[in-house]
Copies of this chain bind each other. A is one copy, B any other.
């Protein structure tokens, strides 16, 4: 049975997230249905990141072992023919037998987009958290720096989550102003003021990025001091961190495996 590695992009706006549910449409469900139509066989498609409802992906990676005579390029085209236009298989590759997109993932990159402009561009409306008004970027950067490294992130996981192991290594937590789609196309500068927070880690707890963003924005608003981050981490208490930022600003950008890392 051949194994495939799929790189998938999706606009999560209309979906209940990656993971198959008994009610409601999910990305995993759509890809598995498309796979069944293409191959005639039922197969489980395993995603590297179990993105929540409304979260987007530019480079989700999934693995699937399925009986088929299609090669990888044919698989990509056939799946896309059975998927809605807001879910696209960007790439299909054959993978070694036993390849598991989640267990084998070494590093994931998430981006969170925040618009501080008075008005959100129609072209970004589904992909940013609109938080108008100034934010203290230097303080936010200090807060992000305090989160980098290997820490117990229990204070930044979804309330009610109880994974056995809450230690993760956050290799990068950065903030940068970016030109919006609009500025990028040469529009008037009034469309500026998009911020991107980028997070690279060996793994993320449920809601971890959104809890970090909610907390870092509290720092940017001067409601919390960057110096308190270390204490919040040490306290392991979700209630001491900030609110969970909205799902729609979050995007799974890429997943790296041994072969992508040096």
Contact of A191 among B58, B76, B181 (CB under 8 A): B58
Residues 201-215 of chain A, each 1 if its beta carbon lies under 8 Å from chain B, else 0: 000000000000000
Contact of A186 among B56, B191, B253 (CB under 8 A): B253
Residue A160 CB within 8 A of the other chain? no
* Nearest CB of chain B from residue A171's CB, rounded to whole Å: 14
A140 to B165, CA, bound (A): 56
| Chain B residues closer than 8 Å to A122, beta-carbon distance | 9-11, 85-88
Contact of A198 among B118, B186, B253 (CB under 8 A): B186
* Nearest CB of chain B from residue A8's CB, rounded to whole Å: 10
Residue A119 CB within 8 A of the other chain? yes
Residue A190 CB within 8 A of the other chain? yes
| Chain B residues closer than 8 Å to A56, beta-carbon distance | 123
Contact A186 B91 (CB under 8 A): no
| Chain B residues closer than 8 Å to A121, beta-carbon distance | 9, 58, 88, 90
A11 to B121, CA, bound (A): 9
Contact A185 B58 (CB under 8 A): yes
A196 to B186, CA, bound (A): 11
Known A-B contacts A9-B191, A90-B191; the reply to A186 vs B111 at CB < 8 A is: yes
A-B contact pairs, 6 of them (CB 8 A): A58-B186, A59-B182, A85-B125, A109-B186, A184-B184, A186-B253
Additional pairs, 19, CB under 8 Å, beyond known A9-B191, A89-B119: A9-B123, A10-B122, A11-B123, A58-B188, A59-B182, A85-B122, A87-B122, A88-B119, A88-B120, A88-B122, A90-B188, A178-B184, A184-B184, A185-B196, A185-B251, A186-B198, A187-B253, A187-B254, A188-B254
In the A-B complex, the 3 residue pairs with the closest CB atoms:
A58-B187, A11-B122, A86-B122
